[in-house]
Amino acid sequence: MAVAFEVTDGEHGEWAVLHVSGEMDLVTSPVLRQRVHEAVADGRRSLVLDLSAVVFCDSSGVGVLVATRRLMRSCRGRLRLILPADGHAGGGPAEGAHVNRVLAALGVRRLFDVHPDVPSAVAPDADEQADPLSA
């Protein structure tokens, strides 16, 4: 059964936050790409993509993430991703950890500034708290 794809807007100070949920695939990834372009067109240069509720991501979804990184760099903006770790207190995979595993398997996770949640991503000193693997 397919999980409904949704992108909702949020804002934390200077940061635009796009909360993404569902499956990022060939059909849904263009929706995220469009929302990112709309945020940049609106003058947003600090963007958080909250991927903690994404349950599946294929190569087209990864492509959108890489293209978003390139876009934000080209406009001297900042991009941070919210990705849960592979496990949680219950021992099983955390919801949304799929994207984390896909990016790591493809060797591109290190390209992104990764945080565990929105508050840590938008914190003023988040550059110092960033996941060392994302450097």
Distance CA 70, CA 93 (A): 29
Secondary structure element (H or E) that encloses residue 6, with its range: strand 6-12
Task: Categorize the per-residue pLDDT at 6 as very low, low, confident or very high, splitting at 50, 70 and 90.
Answer: very high
Chain segment 88-100, per-residue pLDDT in tens: 444 444 555 889 9
Q: Provide the token pair at 116.
A: 């565990």
Higher pLDDT pick, 95 / 124: 124
* Prediction pTM value: 0.85
Distance CA 55, CA 47 (A): 21
Check residue 51 and give its pLDDT. Answer: 96
Q: Provide the token pair at 75.
A: 């406009």
